[in-house]
Structure 1
Amino acid sequence: MKYDWSSHNRTLIGLTVPMAVEQFLRISMGNINVFLLGQYSDEAVAAVGVANQFITMGQMLLTLASNGAAVIISQYLGAGDNENAERSVSVTLILSLLMGLVVCPWLIFTPQLFVEHINLTPVIMEEAAGYLRVVGGALLWHGIFGALSATCRCYHCPRLPMYAIAVMNILNLAGCVWAVFVTKENVTACIAWVNAGSTLAGTAILAFGTVKRLNIRWNRSGSLVSYIRLAGQVLHIGMPGGLESVSYNAAQIITTGMVAGLGMVTVSAKSYLNSIVVYIYVCGMCFGQACQLVVARMGGAGELEKAQEFVKRNFKINLMLNVGISLCVIVSRKTLAGLLTDNNDIAGLVCNVLVIDLFIQAGRALNHCYTSSLRAVGDVRFTMTVMIASTWLVSVPLCYFFSVLSGMGLYGIWLGFAVDECLRGVLSLFRWRKQKWKTGMERRLAEIENMGI
């Protein structure tokens, strides 16, 4: 009898659309800052671009628990174990808070420690450190927001974080316009405080909505041992993914150092490119995350063969999303670059590199689909090993060879990124098709059963 995919497809669409809107709005917060700062100073754009790389690394660390929780909670819900699913929510919030209390003080009190090793002018370095101090300190709320957002997605209520992000964007836009066009003094610092304040407001709104809307028993009792076991499960999934993200972002910082010696034009162009390309792959990324949640539920329910077919069917959609959107951006790249800067040298460099980015997006489609699905079934050691090895043995060396030794500059950086992305995607594809992950998932099903199912 042929399996009816309609319910899974509805779930997939219902998760992807709000998640994509949420991510577009989240990305827009940082890019609004870059766009408005571009009307003020290209040096300020370079400073915020450098600071944002460290902020992104902090965000990855603070969402470490929520990334793991998205899989664990979905697996328990798929297995019908609502009790441990609810306990996992509480564990995730506690872990996110603790991580924030560890990471944020470093960014608040020692921002120069992070930016001083990049080849920046004194003015840009000072602005970058000031921005990092304020926005980095507010990352505590980002961690809480991530935990609540993951919970809403697992319980099929992804619109709540979307609404909260919308409010954050409205507040951020109003504040940034005021800073750039009204105050016209200490603009970078003003925008940093606006970003921090809007993040706090959005987190408060999401927390209120989550408590009111979701049918979760927050006072769920349980032994300390059971909570420790759940924390271990969340970190078992979240830690490798977090280390992957931190490793990847550290490599991005190193490549920024590579191009910093090539001048302000190249550094600013890389900042503008980062602002554009994230919009290219956000739909495919959210589709992959939605697929991950569905696969995790399938895994928790023991539907391993159905999960295998489900992932295979959805890869084609992911590829069409990434490549299709990339082609649209390539066609309109001159207009986009002109909106970001009036410097013809920067705009021309951005336009040319966007063509190379098409190959990166094809590789990302593989990772969005197959790497995310491997995480959903707990095969996280493989994905972590491949990511870290490829980043430091392939991406960074190739970027240095092409950009510095071969004199290709920013073109060489993007070429190195393309090789790395495609290599990791192909390896994940082969891993999924070999089905070695099924053995680990069967052990996970036995563990869920032993916890009270």
Structure 2
Amino acid sequence: MHWHPGNGSLLTLFGMQKAGSCKRGSETADFYHILFAMFVVMYKLRKPDLEIPVYDYFTIRPQWKEIRRILNIGIPSGIENSMFQFGKLAIQSTVSLMGMAAIAAQGMANLIENLNGILAIGVGVGLMTVVGESLGASRKDEAIYYVKKLSIVSEVVIVISCLVMYILVYPITKFGGMEAESARLCIHMVTWITIVKPVAWVFSFIPAYGFRAAGDVKFTMTVSVLSMWFCRVLLAMILARGFGMGPMAVWIGMFADWSVRGIIYAIRLKNKKWLNHQVIG
């Protein structure tokens, strides 16, 4: 469940701050927050200056052919995201057996890795729109050009972000009150992230946004799910539990996942098979 600023106000308003009713109160607040947002969106869609304003929702009839096309894209993407969450849980269960120092170090390293990838992910999300518009206009060469160009932009962003976070990891561990062993492990992992991520991360994620925009979602789902389970999860568990490599085993598995996906996506980008789909007919 996501926490929204309005939730706290509703909890206070209805006197649900006590532990016994906090969970029920937060769920109620979340429900009313989403309900309010729904009505705001419905109201905004009625504005006449919109390209396609919506006035009477009761006259709208579903177009099942278009819905099936949307689901053909949405369901594989949903499965991919769901499997990713299951994989995170499996990895977390392995880390939880390594002791408090390893858990704290892994948690902080994971947070830093997420932060240094946010801007590049934003570039990838923008790539989906650009590729979608290019293919919608039947300009396949333009779509290929933008996948390559924005991959280069993402590479520059990743290098800068990784260096910035590497510089900040020392004060973060110090002011975060981490114990010496946890700080040492965290800095060690972030050092390797800073080295490997600029090399392997971009091609394992950014081209996939373009592939999805082109309708090549089943391929990206299959590659990401298999790579995650065999590299990120299975390899990490073998290295951690079989070879006693500690939390660094998780990152070796992740580096392997990035590398495998990057190689496969690079081949897919070069052979142009991802363009042999039709999202809109």
* Compared CA separation, residues 437 and 415, structure 1 to 2 (3 A): same
Matched, 1:276 2:108: no
The one of 315, 334, 356 equivalent to 2:192 is 356
Paired position in structure 2 for 1:312: 148
C-alpha distance in 2 between matches for 1:286 and 1:334: 26
Structure with greater helix percent? 1
Map 1:243-322 to 2 at 5 A.
Answer: 243-322=79-158
Q: CA deviation at 1:371?
A: 0.5
Map 1:58-137 to 2 at 5 A.
Answer: 135=1
Paired position in structure 1 for 2:180: 344
C-alpha distance in 2 between matches for 1:347 and 1:190: 34
* Compared CA separation, residues 357 and 222, structure 1 to 2 (3 A): same
1:23-51 per-position Cα deviation (integer Å, ceiling 9, x unaligned)? xxxxxxxxxxxxxxxxxxxxxxxxxxxxx
C-alpha distance in 2 between matches for 1:239 and 1:361: 30
* Compared CA separation, residues 333 and 191, structure 1 to 2 (3 A): farther
Which residues of structure 1 form unaligned runs of 5+?
A: 1-134, 143-167, 448-453
TM-score by length of 2: 0.82
Matched, 1:204 2:36: yes
Matched, 1:405 2:248: no
Count of residues in Structure 1 that have an aligned counterpart in Structure 2? 267
Aligned alpha-carbon RMSD (Å): 3.1
* Compared CA separation, residues 279 and 194, structure 1 to 2 (3 A): farther
C-alpha distance in 1 between matches for 2:174 and 2:29: 30
1:178-232 per-position Cα deviation (integer Å, ceiling 9, x unaligned)? 9xxxx9x96xx969966984786477347515642662433465554x2x22221
Q: CA deviation at 1:333?
A: 0.4
Paired position in structure 2 for 1:387: 224
Matched, 1:440 2:277: yes
1:55-108 per-position Cα deviation (integer Å, ceiling 9, x unaligned)? xxxxxxxxxxxxxxxxxxxxxxxxxxxxxxxxxxxxxxxxxxxxxxxxxxxxxx
Q: CA deviation at 1:330?
A: 0.8
More displaced stretch, 262-271 vs 311-320: 262-271
Q: CA deviation at 1:378?
A: 0.4
Contact 2:120 2:157 in 1 (8 A): yes
C-alpha distance in 2 between matches for 1:309 and 1:234: 26
Q: CA deviation at 1:254?
A: 0.9
Which residues of structure 2 form unaligned runs of 5+?
A: none
* Compared CA separation, residues 195 and 230, structure 1 to 2 (3 A): same
Paired position in structure 2 for 1:231: 67
Paired position in structure 1 for 2:233: 396
Q: Percent identity?
A: 20
Contact 2:130 2:146 in 1 (8 A): no
Paired position in structure 2 for 1:25: none
C-alpha distance in 2 between matches for 1:195 and 1:347: 36
Equivalent position amino acid for 2:91 in 1: T
* Compared CA separation, residues 405 and 376, structure 1 to 2 (3 A): same
Equivalent position amino acid for 1:346 in 2: S
Contact 2:98 2:247 in 1 (8 A): no
* Compared CA separation, residues 323 and 262, structure 1 to 2 (3 A): same
1:133-171 per-position Cα deviation (integer Å, ceiling 9, x unaligned)? xx3xxx6xx9xxxxxxxxxxxxxxxxxxxxxxxxx4x66
C-alpha distance in 2 between matches for 1:352 and 1:197: 42
Equivalent position amino acid for 2:223 in 1: V
